[in-house]
A and B are shown apart, each in its own frame.
Chain A
């Protein structure tokens, strides 16, 4: 296993060196070209400020969910419970707020707590029961779906409050959409967290070589549990914020986020093996995915085609990015 790693790393290094340095630039160039292409298909795609905001708004939601996914993937795991958690956040927020402003703070607090709690369980299973994160998060995700259905009796009720709606749809000074500002703040915080804090650094150590991290005195279990907890809280919060966007709740709102958050991370250049990458790439990845969706909508592509496109993009990109990361027998 280990000598394999040395070989993989050697070849990965060659391929990734060029990519890593210039990847972010390439991605942002891609974003610009997609906007331009969209302009050709439908006037106003690039030139309408409203449309740009709409794209960035959608990207914000995906982006916030992907924060946790980025962190988890950096440690070498996956979080497949984000989808159900987004749905849960969405449904419960509406149920708790019931359209009243004053309910909002404590409702949000509860949602964040619940998300963190389930993320915590994910972390416990992965760290102490040594269950692979893939399956653990899948199981917890199913659990969350059940709890969501149960407590809402299968029919989402309630409504987002005006203040939440303002966050979801409104704009500061009529110009800057609030949700995008929130995303920017969170992005800055988490980029900083990953690059400049001890916690962030430990995430990379664990992803790069978990055993060496353990033998270097890093509290691996603690960091992993925290990573999953953040992811859970982030996913649930996103669902809550989306309630402001959609005004009320509906099931299935989170369904696509499992694939999309992983896709955003992958497109952003973070290695699925862990230890390499970061959130900046994910930001670009999220925007690209939302842009793709928007382009497809404008080209009148049905839902079916969009799913196909999403899947294809991931496959194509992992083949380009990770040519070097092949596992040799």
Chain B
């Protein structure tokens, strides 16, 4: 099978399901299709996309980042605690400082994990606790403020017509996709995630790449936090917590394998929408928002059982056999 075929087989289902759910939501509630609602969706989905891409980078390299939520929280807290609100200086600081912070925190994760060789789960769990602690220190209760110009532009529109969030996430997705497909760094991530010793034998600087991967994750998480601060107009230390699971779910739905080496961000928009819309639909149906938790958990488990390889219970295999009888079975050839 050609690479493009494999990618299409992955992304077509994701985007088809996305469109299906989207239409379904519209049927339930006609106001769904209004421009206002869609603009709102763009805003809500941006941090999800950013967090999902952050996690995707790490997952592709074979690791995991449980500190994404904490970095989101910390960067948003910093973003709203900058001085000289409503001055150009504040805006400049807002643009520069949180990303640098996120990058540094991510790099710290990376160094501990790559150089120390420790388990990424435990390390990021621990660093996440530390960053959250720091956040609570800075911001024991939600608060802070953002320059008006930021708060108006980010969740607002450019040229009064194009929603800024749309532009933001499209740009970010494009950049990340480019990095993953067309740069040495990006391809090294896939190699390391696929088989680290082979990658090493090919001359790839594994430690360095891994450190940068976590740095990338921290950076993207910081952007998510910044966005949230502009949107919410204030910050809450624990605002990032749901993103731990959400980022993993979105990454998995978008086709990234938990083992690493496979996947990417091309499907991230579809994946994020699927994830978000499921909650949205529940709201539309006036179902208690608590179902969202349940839905998220179930969606993740469903996505995992469909994409996980080597399962004794091959759900995807069963579905493929029932619904797509003409397709030949993949990868039984060779060892």
Is there any pair of Cβ atoms, one from A and one from B, under 8 angstroms apart in the complex? yes
- Interface residues, chain A, with chain B CB atoms under 8 Å away: 78, 125, 127-132, 134-136, 138-147, 149-150, 153-154, 221, 258-259, 262, 266, 272-273, 302-312, 314-315, 318-319, 322, 325-329
Chain B residue with the shortest CB-CB distance to A121: B301
Q: Is the CB of B136 within 8 A of A131?
A: no
Q: Is the CB of B293 within 8 A of A259?
A: no
- Of the listed stretches B5-13, B116-124, B270-278, chain A binds B116-124
Q: How far is the CB of B302 from chain A (nearest CB, A)?
A: 9
Q: Is the CB of B294 within 8 A of A141?
A: no
How extensive is the interface on chain B, given as a class? Answer: 35 or more
B140 within 8 A of A: yes
> What mask results when residues 131 to 151 of chain B are scored 1 for a CB within 8 Å of chain A, else 0?
111111110100000000000
Chain A residues with CB under 8 Å of B24's CB are none
Chain B residues with CB under 8 Å of A326's CB are 116-118
Chain A residue with the shortest CB-CB distance to B125: A259
Docked complex: B284-300 residues within 8 A CB-CB of A: 288, 290-298, 300
Q: How far is the CB of B331 from chain A (nearest CB, A)?
A: 15
Chain A residue with the shortest CB-CB distance to B118: A318
Q: CA separation between A311 and B309, bound complex, in Å?
A: 33
Q: Is the CB of B290 within 8 A of A154?
A: yes
B127 within 8 A of A: yes
Q: CA separation between A142 and B299, bound complex, in Å?
A: 11
Chain A residues with CB under 8 Å of B290's CB are 146, 149-150, 154
Chain B residues with CB under 8 Å of A135's CB are 248, 252, 258, 300, 304
Select one of A131, A145, A305 contacting B304, CB under 8 A: A131
Q: Is the CB of B300 within 8 A of A312?
A: no
List 26 interface pairs A-B (beta carbons < 8 Å), by A numbering. A78-B121, A130-B309, A131-B301, A135-B300, A136-B304, A138-B248, A139-B301, A139-B304, A141-B297, A146-B296, A147-B293, A150-B288, A259-B126, A262-B125, A303-B140, A304-B138, A307-B129, A307-B130, A308-B129, A308-B134, A309-B133, A311-B128, A315-B126, A315-B130, A319-B118, A326-B118
Docked complex: B234-255 residues within 8 A CB-CB of A: 244-245, 248-249, 252
Q: CA separation between A146 and B295, bound complex, in Å?
A: 8
Q: Is the CB of B130 within 8 A of A129?
A: no
Q: How far is the CB of B266 from chain A (nearest CB, A)?
A: 22
Docked complex: B301-335 residues within 8 A CB-CB of A: 301, 304-305, 308-313, 315
Q: CA separation between A130 and B125, bound complex, in Å?
A: 22
Q: CA separation between A326 and B115, bound complex, in Å?
A: 9
Chain A residues with CB under 8 Å of B25's CB are none
Q: Is the CB of A305 within 8 A of B301?
A: no
Q: Is the CB of A311 within 8 A of B112?
A: no
Chain A residue with the shortest CB-CB distance to B136: A304
Docked complex: B91-130 residues within 8 A CB-CB of A: 112, 116-119, 121-123, 125-130
Q: Is the CB of B132 within 8 A of A307?
A: yes
Chain B residue with the shortest CB-CB distance to A308: B133
Q: CA separation between A303 and B132, bound complex, in Å?
A: 10
Interface SS of chain B: helix
Chain B residues with CB under 8 Å of A328's CB are 117
Q: Is the CB of A146 within 8 A of B292?
A: yes
Chain B residues with CB under 8 Å of A329's CB are 196-197, 200, 206-207
Chain B residues with CB under 8 Å of A131's CB are 258, 301, 304-305, 308, 311
Chain B residues with CB under 8 Å of A130's CB are 308-312
Q: CA separation between A322 and B123, bound complex, in Å?
A: 12
Chain A residues with CB under 8 Å of B127's CB are 311, 315
Assuming the contacts A136-B301, A146-B295, A329-B196, asked whether A129 and B313 have C-beta atoms less than 8 A apart, the reply is yes
Q: Is the CB of B136 within 8 A of A303?
A: yes
Q: Is the CB of A139 within 8 A of B297?
A: yes
Chain A residues with CB under 8 Å of B245's CB are 138-139, 142
18 extra A-B contacts, CB within 8 A, seeds A150-B294, A310-B129, A328-B117: A125-B301, A129-B304, A129-B308, A138-B245, A146-B294, A150-B288, A262-B125, A272-B122, A302-B140, A304-B140, A310-B133, A311-B126, A311-B131, A314-B125, A314-B129, A315-B123, A326-B116, A329-B197
B189 within 8 A of A: no
Chain B residues with CB under 8 Å of A147's CB are 293-294
Q: How far is the CB of B328 from chain A (nearest CB, A)?
A: 23
Q: CA separation between A262 and B297, bound complex, in Å?
A: 22
